[in-house]
Chains A and B, each alone.
Chain A
Amino acid sequence: MSRDRTTVSRLLTWSVGVGVVALAWSTPVVAGQAGDTALADDLSPLTVADWDEHKAAHLLERAGFGGTPDDVAKLAAMTPEAAVSSLVDYHTVADTLSPFDASPIWDPAMDPFPKSRAEAVRRARETGTSMGVEMLPEGESRRLQPVVNKFFYGLRSNAIETQRLALWWGQRMLLSTRPLEEKLTLFWHGHFSTGNTKVRDTRMMLRQNEMLRAHAAGSFRDLLLGILKDPAMLVYLDNRENVKDHPNENFGRELLELFTMGVGNYSEEDIREASRAFTGWTNSALEFHFDATQHDYGPKTFLGQTGLYDGTDIIEIILDQEPTAEYIAGKLYRYFVRQELSETTRAELGATLRNANYELSPLLARIFLSRDFYSAPSVATQIKSPVHLVVSTYRKLGLQEMPTIPDFNRLTASLGQTMFNPPNVAGWAGGRTWITPGSLLQRGNLFRTVMFAETDSFYPPDRVVPGIYASVARRLEQGMNITAATQEGDAESSMLADRDEDYNTRYGGYMGYVMAFEKLKLVPRRTPNLDLVRLVNEAGANDVEAVVDHFIARFLRVPLDQVDRDVLVEFLRDKLGADQLETPDAHSEAALRGLLYLVLSTPEYQLA
């Protein structure tokens, strides 16, 4: 820490640039509530006497996605132990949600799906067919076009199907009676980062998602073994290329650096040796497959021990290391509590995890019951992820079905988070990295599209050909040949003679959409089912001040100051033209939605 500080101050001299920026932080940060701050790093359990609605709301926001005042009141009426248990021991609560309703996009000939368009074409050239599609007979033009079309069909249909999958997951987050299960699954998705952009197979992404969910609060050992045998992960980390003669170190590196121990606890040699132990771990379509012919059966020396290890032995050695439990416990802590944790907290939570033989629920219960979790540095200090921001807003509104206008994936993606497509193997950085000046404005603006959803200007991403392919479609409709239709630029293209070639990639890209749209199940489109007049009526808030106070209490984890509250009250009074919410008409509803847009646009609302 002190080293950091020296570095920082030395580096600052580099920083000032043209010198207009004047920066300083001379005033020490003063704690608001000294009593609460004193609880920081105290892992002993909270007592019933300290339990109240605020703490219940904090628990629900963090261990889930927040909820309505009723949801909070139910938790507040319990003891802290019972409240935490109701979230952590969720296996006792029935899961009533339906499984994912997959579109019939796969046929058996598509397995294994070629890694690239070039490979798809190569297969067809060598065998006459690829992905179940035959090359056209000699003499036909573009003999490989059907193959290329099928390849792009595979890409497009899986990309869009994965958006459907993300919507399904978002709906689970919104409606699940086991919210911590979904919150944990999202954590593991970021921890064991895997992206469909590379995997290109929604079935594998679903399978992984179900595996993560099944063990989300169970045993970390099962999760680790599950993910290392998971087809999507094996594809994502290219473990097919990890073979005895050419071990691929990616797998071992990610395993040690990102999944289990963190940097600084192993050597490059350990990475190589671990990778050797996982040679031959591959997949056959949706199943794990151990390819004994590619496995390196020789002795390995890993973390100071030598033996004829295979992957499962390596996992056990990793789990024996103290840094592993501390790394996992620390990362869970940062996800659920706050960015900084002390060495002692880290060590103590690591010991909790290790002593429970890597069962996760005792660790989670300890975190959520701890005084530290309810201390000032932990409460309302977390910047919501885009997924949390959107889902928790819908939960707090009490929505019973997922709105699809605006599109759920577009909302989160435009703020920097696309489920099933994290930025890279390291997952989402989280915290302050969610925020830029522009994204902060966007976080507010998006809620305007939720409050005043537009159906006229909405186009569904699962049925509209995007970008350059739209112009291909237009030109084909105008009667152009494929060469001309796929040419960029304008007038001169219509003059082009159709070329004799094996295939046209851009036409294939276009046809991929057309074919995908035929098979993909349509996402039902609906705007948010909002009734804010009823919502405030049910809360017993009738005059403008009571309405504003209700919104502040219902949506914000940090209170607004008096000035801001007055601004909101004035806004509502102006909009209603009255002090009371008298008639439950469209005018009142619009006024309330405008007010809620303001509340959801505040910096305070970004905090969980």
Chain B
Amino acid sequence: MTFTCGCSRRDFLRKGFYGLGVGAGLPVILNRTSAALAAQALGGTSLETNPERILVVVELSGGNDGLNTVVPYGNDTYYQVRPNLGIPEHDVLKVESGYGFHPALVGFERLYKDGQMAVVHGCGYENPSLSHFSSMGYWHSGVPNGGDPLGWVGRLADRAYDHDAQGNMIVNIGTRQSMAVQSRYHPPLVFSDPGRLRRDGTGDELDALAALSPEVTSANQALEFLTSTAQNATESGELVREATSSYHTPVDYGIGGLSGSLRQTAALIAAQLPTRLYYVSYSGNSFDTHVHQADPHARLLAYTADAVHGFIEDMRRIGRADDVAVMMFTEFGRRVEENASLGTDHGTATPMFVLGAGVNGGMYGRHPSLTDLDDGNLKMTTDFRRVYATMINEWLGHADTRSILKGSFEPMGLFA
């Protein structure tokens, strides 16, 4: 069972997770040329045509108000159901006939006009749940109205990587692990503050812990798994701290939670981490705008678009623009009618966004009707798993979406 390189698991563990000497300290910023060469060397045997491609999933938790994000300003009904919260037509950042962005989404407008942003209207699933917990769970597992102990990104890693493969196949930047990255075989590296990816204790305790020998080979496979994960934890902690603290970029990501997470993602990509699956989430139910929505929602959107725009711009700066795509989702949109507290309540269908230099920009799918509603909520027009299938198949080049998504979902031609 030897794959792709002649080194044994033992060699591998001794060398460390990034092929670097661990004992030698960690000057971890790797050389792009060597990475590119290694990737090229694999080209001949690879089923995959673009082994450098990276997927960054961005979760807008809390239920983003899709109608005030991609504004259907050409539709009179919109202004009737949103008498106070509706974005006046003259404020809308118009990008297509009848549709435009919320005025805070300057970054999106720019990316859209550059042809680097796809908007997929009306994403959702049959029999939608209005509960944050249930609906987010469905988006995470990719199994609406059902359950799976693993997440869709986790299953993607399980299908795509050798089960014994070492290293961080998935990086999840957030205050807690998303269910989406739950994998059978590939523990995601989860962090929000890289400073927390370390052991606590006094100097004596930490010295002793560091001196405990990594027992890398054992007949006990569970113990091997644990010791290699422990070693990975220590190295990854150092690597992430080193990569993020040493990362300097002139690109402005703006402020707000997402800017820090995406800058950390950029730092790890710039440091040539072999990770290809990144998952970034807002903490808490940030987008849950029941009350006095206008200002906080505008702020959240501005933070989001600034950060994503900065990230895409930064990828261009470091020469990785063609290798990175961002997919954004939220667990549901808001109710069509605004409520009496100048906010909006839990709803259903909502747009998804796919961004990156490789994207065929434009609007996809059909905008849901504002009058043909299901108990006051939009009827979805695109199953969200079609967008997942697009990222898995068209972007990452993994043909077998069916086993990952537990059903057949046609990719949407966002990258074709």
A residues apposed to B, CB below 8 Å: 8-27, 29-33, 116-118, 193, 195, 197-198, 250, 253-254, 257-258, 376, 380-383, 416, 423-430, 432-433, 435-441, 444-445, 448, 467, 483, 486-489, 499, 501-506, 558, 560-561, 563-564, 567-568, 570-571, 574-575, 594, 597-598, 601-604, 606-607
Contacts and interface: CB of A to CB of B under 8 A. Distances in A.
A118 B375 CA distance: 12
B292 A483 contact: yes
Given A16-B42, A25-B1, A11 B160 contact: yes
Contacts of B202: 594
A144 to B, nearest CB: 9
Contact of A20 (B30, B201, B339): B30
B291 A438 contact: no
Interface in B118-133: 130-131, 133
A458 to B, nearest CB: 16
A448 B201 CA distance: 7
A448 B199 CA distance: 10
A433 B165 contact: no
B18 interface: yes
A487 B292 contact: yes
Given A437-B189, A575-B204, A23 B167 contact: yes
A15 B165 contact: yes
Given A16-B39, A21-B18, 10 more contacts: A8-B163, A13-B42, A17-B52, A24-B11, A32-B219, A425-B146, A429-B149, A438-B189, A438-B233, A499-B342
A427 B187 contact: no
A88 B397 CA distance: 52
A14 B277 CA distance: 13
B341 A503 contact: yes
A559 to B, nearest CB: 11
Nearest to A603: B226
A20 B17 CA distance: 9
Contacts of A33: 219
A564 B18 CA distance: 26
B9 A25 contact: yes
Contact of B46 (A14, A24, A381, A560): A14
A21 B5 CA distance: 10
B12 A381 contact: no
Given A12-B165, A435-B187, A567 B212 contact: yes
Q: Which of A22, A382, A444 has the most CB of B within 10 A?
A: A22
Contacts of B130: 116
User: Which 4 pairs of residues, A with B, have the shortest CB-CB distance?
Assistant: A19-B38, A429-B149, A425-B147, A437-B233
Q: Which of B37, B190, B292 has the most CB of A within 10 A?
A: B292
Nearest to B164: A25
Contacts of A31: 219
Contact of B48 (A14, A19, A376, A444): A14
A439 to B, nearest CB: 7
B221 A29 contact: yes
A18 B219 CA distance: 31
Nearest to A30: B219
Nearest to B30: A20
Contacts of B209: 444, 598, 601
A603 B141 CA distance: 29
B225 interface: yes
Contact of A22 (B5, B45, B146, B205): B5
Contacts of A376: 219
Contacts of B48: 13-14
Contacts of A601: 199, 209
A380 B209 CA distance: 22
B86 interface: no
Interface stretch (B65-73, B258-266, B268-276, B302-310): B268-276
Contacts of B52: 17-18
Contact of B229 (A116, A440, A607): A440
B76 interface: no
Given A14-B397, A440-B226, A483-B292, A597 B205 contact: yes
B298 to A, nearest CB: 11
Nearest to A504: B341
A599 B46 CA distance: 44
B200 interface: yes
A21 B291 CA distance: 48
A14 B202 CA distance: 43
Given A438-B189, A438-B191, A27 B204 contact: no
